[in-house]
Amino acid sequence: MYIIPLPFAENACHYFEAIRHLPLPLLLDSSRPASHFGRYDMAMAAPLAVITHKDGLTQVLQDGITRTTQSDAFELIGQLQQQLLQDLSVSELAADIPFTGGAAGLFGYDLGRSIETMPTLAKADIAVEDMCVGIYPWAVITDHELRTSYLVSQLDDPQTQALMQTLTQPSSVMTSAFALKGDFNSNMSAQEYADKFYRVIDYIHAGDCYQVCLAQRFSAAYAGNPWFAYQQLRKASPTPFSAYMETNEGALLSLSPERFLQVHQGRVETKPIKGTRPRGDTPELDKALYEELGASPKDRSENLMIVDLLRNDLSKHCQPFSVKVPDLFAIESYSNVHHLVTTVTGELASNEQILPLLKGAFPGGSITGAPKLRAMEIIEELEPHRRNGYTGSIGYLSSNGRMDTNICIRTLVTDSKGDDGGLIYCWAGGGLVADSDCESEYQETFDKVNNLLDGLRAL
């Protein structure tokens, strides 16, 4: 493994610009310095193999050859990582590096169909894969705490030196400006949202479930390149679990504030978000909204429901009695909203449990509801279109035994990755419980998404 210092890049886009022309480019972005929650940025491209899953079909692209397999998509990740990369889980040199080569990419919400038996009701009209994960032998890492940037590479010396030359030369690739060609349209009217809202309440009263996360989808035509849009949005909405990824079918622009699962030295952490208030226009109003969120019995109970679900998900894979809740009902403030956030932790018995943990907890309970499977069935019944990348996860599983993934909220998906334009999609939703108010829940979806939609309208 090579570790080669690079000039420190405060802006995560700097090194990603140099490699974005390579296959399957991926940026994991902490949005520093504007966001004060994250630490690392990671840029990678040109994986040794790519695992995709779409509509029940799993394929592997390796050495220019695509093969279809009946193997479990999650198990394939472990197999290919073991075949193609060194196991650095016992390396002292690798212990303090977040990513030393490994699997990284998209685990879309609809990948859950490969885990659970689900009805097929919602329309699937976005081509981006349900899963698109590369086995990456290198990454450029920026540590904002230590203010260092460096290349980590498992490639041989000539390949690593060629990569260094690419990273240290100015990018010659021009990106066309992004512009919407019309306004965003929702896939449900206010009345249709209300009808679906009361259907959820009926299910709750009938005992089917006690929380369901109902979302609406917005879409618009655009011209230009989504990478240009992402660079502008990260300035307007800096969040610690942001990501930008281009697959063969389109691009994902994730401005997410939520961690799904992190593993470091066997310690698991998840940080579900449940409970939201908009930021106030004045310091006094902002403080009042902050305090209202912290004191809200409804939001606290809604948060606690998902905490219990995630404690159960973690307990299936962690050591007995190791699952704890060290931080309950903390408030994190972002550019447009306050969020109620709880931290749940646990201890894995071994690194072999990382992939089973990810599969077993997927998709995250904070964006389904509880009980999870019944909530997902209701979502499938009521939401007109499949969620695609929205409320899935983007992140990495490193060859040194570390993992970090986000929840893809505040996430946009395009049906093109180039300069030709196409359609761009964005979602917003919230958890509905027995005492939810329809009007306020509907408004909350706009509070969550307006920062992104307004940012795109301004381009």
What pLDDT digit, counting tens, does each position of 306-327 carry? 999 999 999 999 999 999 999 9
Instruction: Give the pLDDT confidence score for residue 21 in this predicted structure.
Output: 93
Instruction: Give the pLDDT confidence score for residue 36 in this predicted structure.
Output: 75
The set of catalytic residues is 258, 274
Sequence-distant (6+) residues with CB within 8 A of 122 are 380, 383, 384, 385, 386
Instruction: Answer whether 412's CB lies under 8 Å from 188's CB.
Output: no
What is the average per-residue pLDDT within 197-209?
Answer: 97
What is the average per-residue pLDDT within 54-79?
Answer: 95
451 has a pLDDT exceeding 90: no
Domain count, the chain: 1
Sequence-distant (6+) residues with CB within 8 A of 41 are 9, 12, 27, 28, 29, 30, 32, 141, 142, 144
436 has a pLDDT exceeding 90: yes
d(CA 74, CA 50): 12
Half-sphere exposure of 403 (CA within 13 A, CB side): 29
pTM, full prediction: 0.95
What is the average per-residue pLDDT within 60-86?
Answer: 95
Instruction: Give the pLDDT confidence score for residue 174 in this predicted structure.
Output: 75
Instruction: Answer whether 37's CB lies under 8 Å from 240's CB.
Output: yes
- CATH number at 186 reads 3.60.120.10
> By residue range, what is the domain housing residue 125?
2-457
Instruction: Give the pLDDT confidence score for residue 59 in this predicted structure.
Output: 97
Q: How far lies 133's CA from each of 50, 105, 123, 204, 246, in Å? A: 6, 4, 24, 36, 11
| 259 class by beta-carbon count within 10 Å (0-12 exposed, 13-18 middle, 19+ buried) | buried
User: In which band, very low, low, confident or very high, does the pLDDT at 176 lie, cut at 50, 70 and 90?
Assistant: confident
Q: What confidence tens digit (pLDDT) does each residue in 40-49 have?
A: 999 999 999 9
Extended beta strands in 85-175, E state = 102-107, 131-136, 138-143, 148-153
Residue 184 per-residue DSSP state: -
3-state secondary structure (DSSP) of residue 372: helix
Tokens read off for 188:
């449900």
**Token match 């081509």: residue?**
127
- What is the per-residue burial (b if ≥16 Cβ within 10 Å, else e) of 25-57? bbbbbbbbeebebbebbbbbbbbbbbbbbbeee
Cα(first)–Cα(last) distance of the chain, in Å?
Answer: 42
